[in-house]
Amino acid sequence: MKERTNMKRQIFKIAFTLITVITLTSCTSYKLGSSLPNDIKTVYVPICVNKTKEINIENYVTQALLTRIQEDGSLRISDEKLSDTTLEVTIVNYELAPVRYLSGNEKTVSEYRLRLTAQFTFTRNSNDKVIMNSTAIGEYKFTPTGDMVQAKTQALPDAAADLSYYILEQVVDFWEF
């Protein structure tokens, strides 16, 4: 009986040690804070360029991007002449597409997807070297209520926020190896 208890304890110790080792080693690649190089701390974000036919979306995307940068904390927003980097964004596509129709009525849309596509350039200001050229897509699904113009206007900030999330994710995560 005593041998069986000792054997159970040994199995428990081995299992506990194994779980501890796996847990500790799985966290070694995780890190807090930014993965940006030490000399990149600030960013200048000019007003986004709008190459779509939809008016005023550049203001929504610019505001969402500035808000996202502040919330993330990896970079500080700075003046053009004092910043380490510049993040230029061009909105190249605005797409509104039906996602779902009312049951039994294939002509009435019950849900739309607003999708924004942007190309962006992240440049190091000290030598004007382009660090990254990329594309990001942000979208938001919504149920239209009332008139469609108002529904699109209400959905735009959420699509812009989603777009800014994916832009900043690429900029910050680019440095991880």
Domain assignments of the chain as residue spans, ordered by start: 1-30, 33-173
pLDDT at position 177: 42
pTM value is: 0.78
The angle, 0 to 180 degrees and rounded to 10, between the axes of the packed helices 57-72 and 148-173 is 40
Distance CA 16, CA 22 (A): 10
Nearest to 170 by CA among 118, 114, 96, 94: 118
pLDDT tens digits for 52-81?
999 999 999 999 999 999 999 999 999 999
Q: Taking the CA atoms of the chain, what radius of gyration do you get in angstroms?
A: 24
pLDDT at position 121: 97
pLDDT tens digits for 116-155?
999 999 999 999 999 999 999 999 999 888 788 888 889 9
Q: 106 vs 160, which has greater pLDDT?
A: 160
pLDDT tens digits for 25-60?
554 444 455 568 888 999 999 999 999 999 999 999
Q: Give the rounded percent of residues in the chain with a pLDDT score beyond 90.
A: 59
Nearest to 58 by CA among 88, 86, 18: 88
Please state, as a whole number, how many other Cβ atoms lie within 10 Å of the Cβ of residue 133: 11
Grade residue 157 by pLDDT with cuts at 50, 70 and 90.
very high
What CATH architecture does domain 33-173 belong to?
A: 2-Layer Sandwich (3.30)
Q: How many helices and strands (H and E) does the chain possess? A: 3, 6
